[in-house]
Amino acid sequence: MKIKLTHTRNSLPEKIRLEMTALLQERLADAIDLMMQAKQAHWNVKGPNFIALHELFDKVFNESVGYVDVLAERIVQLGGIAKGTIRSAAKQTTLPDYSLTTTKSKNHIAELAHAIAFFGEQVRKAIETASKLKDADTADIFTQVSRGADMNLWFVEAHEQQEQ
């Protein structure tokens, strides 16, 4: 089935807009999954650092909401349709599965850090693709998302690291 874009006066060639909307949709699915993985950790974390981690995981969730919004809006700006339902995201996400049974803080930290790192890697690949296709605006959006993911990864990983 051929994807059809809606009419826009955006000057990017249709071929590039088609490629970018597909790429954005892939990262949108990942961002929705990351958002919900952070909420899974937020709801279920236990342990002596509960409140700090509970609040941190909620911060990662809220940051991910921002990624979802900016990616979805760019899809629509390019003439596509953002597919942002949980079912759609579940079918398309590339993130590793998140355990639904863990409650230990160290496990939540490790799993969420892994998901954020994987997401960041996928977004950096998307920056390269958008740059090669000369879509500076989409590359800039991916760069913005990458910076946020790296910041969240730093915050989460700090809880794994021991003082020197």
Q: State pLDDT tens for residues 82-138.
A: 999 999 999 999 999 999 998 899 999 999 999 999 999 999 999 999 999 999 999
Determine, yes or no, domain membership for 3.
Answer: no
Give mean pLDDT, residues 72-82.
Answer: 97
Determine, yes or no, domain membership for 55.
Answer: yes
Determine, yes or no, domain membership for 5.
Answer: no
Degrees, nearest 5: CA angle 92-13-6:
60
Let me know how many helices (H) and strands (E) the chain has, helices first.
5, 0
Determine, yes or no, domain membership for 9.
Answer: no
Count how many domains the chain has.
1
Q: How confident is the model at residue 1 (pLDDT cuts 50, 70, 90)?
A: low
Determine, yes or no, domain membership for 6.
Answer: no
Specify whether the CB–CB gap between 68 and 31 falls below 8 A: yes
Query: By residue range, what is the domain housing residue 63?
Result: 14-157
Who contacts 85 (Cβ-Cβ below 8 Å, separation ≥6)?
none
CATH of the domain at 100: 1.20.1260.10
Determine, yes or no, domain membership for 163.
Answer: no
The dihedral formed by the CA atoms of 80, 85, 90 and 95, expressed in degrees to the nearest 10: 70
Name all contacts of 8-12 with Cβ < 8 Å and 24+ positions apart: 8/77, 8/78, 8/79, 10/77, 10/78, 10/79, 12/78, 12/135
